[in-house]
Amino acid sequence: MLIAFNKPMNVLSQFTDEGKWRGLKNWIDVPNVYAAGRLDRDSEGLLLLTDDGKLQAQISSPKFKTQKTYLAQVEGTPTEDALEQLRRGVTLKDGKTRPAKAVAIADPNLWPRDPPVRVRKTVPDAWLRLTISEGKNRQVRRMTAAVGLPCLRLVRWQIGPWSVEGLAPGEWREVQL
C-alpha cells in the first residue's frame, strides 16, 4: 500500500503528537503504514506513507536518488547566477549538494497557508521549482539561503512519479505503486 498525503504546515512526519505539534494520527487512520522519508514541520506538501519496508527504503534512501520536486517561495528576486549555482550544486556546512534542477516560476496559486507567509512591502518575493535527488536535513531551505534567497514557504510537490496535485492540505489518497 502507498498513500499520498498533503501534509499541512506545523504537522509532524510521525504519528505521535509532540508538545503543541500534531502528528499524522490526526489525519491518517490506516494501520501499519509509516512515512517514507520526512518533511519538516514547517514545510508542506507531499508525504508518502507505506506498509512496505523495501519501498520505504527505495523512496527515502539517498542511494536510490529518487527525485523530489519542491515549490519554494523565496525572499528576493532570483538571478540567473543564483539559479546556475543551484544547478551546479551548493556547498553547505555538511558538504556540496548534488546539482539541482532549478527554475524561476510564476506564482503557482497554491492553497492558503496557515499561518500565512509574512509579507514585506519593501522586499520582493518569487517562486522557484527545485528538483533534488538527495535529502540532507533542511536541504532546499539551506540551498536557497546559500544563494541569497531565504525560503519563506516550502511545498514538496512531487516524489518520483507521485504528486500532491489534487489533494487539499490534510487530505490523502491511496496511489498506484
Above 90 in pLDDT, residue 140? yes
Looking at residue 41, its pLDDT comes to: 95
Question: Residue 103: which of 122, 116, 125, 86 has the closest Cα?
Answer: 86
Contacts of 110 (CB under 8 A, 6+ apart): 71, 155
**DSSP β-ladder status, 151-159 and 44-50:** parallel
CATH domain 67-159 topology: Alpha-Beta Plaits (3.30.70)
Q: Which residues are catalytic?
A: 40
Give 9-46 pLDDT, tens digit per residue. Answer: 999 999 999 999 999 999 999 999 999 999 999 999 99
Kindly state the percentage of the chain with pLDDT values over 70: 100
CATH domain 1-64+161-177 topology: Alpha-Beta Plaits (3.30.70)
Domain ranges of the chain: 1-64+161-177, 67-159
Looking at residue 118, its pLDDT comes to: 85
Looking at residue 105, its pLDDT comes to: 98
Give 48-83 pLDDT, tens digit per residue. Answer: 999 999 999 999 888 888 999 999 999 999 999 999
Give, for 55, the enclosing helix (H) or strand (E): helix 53-60
Rounded average pLDDT over 98-115: 95
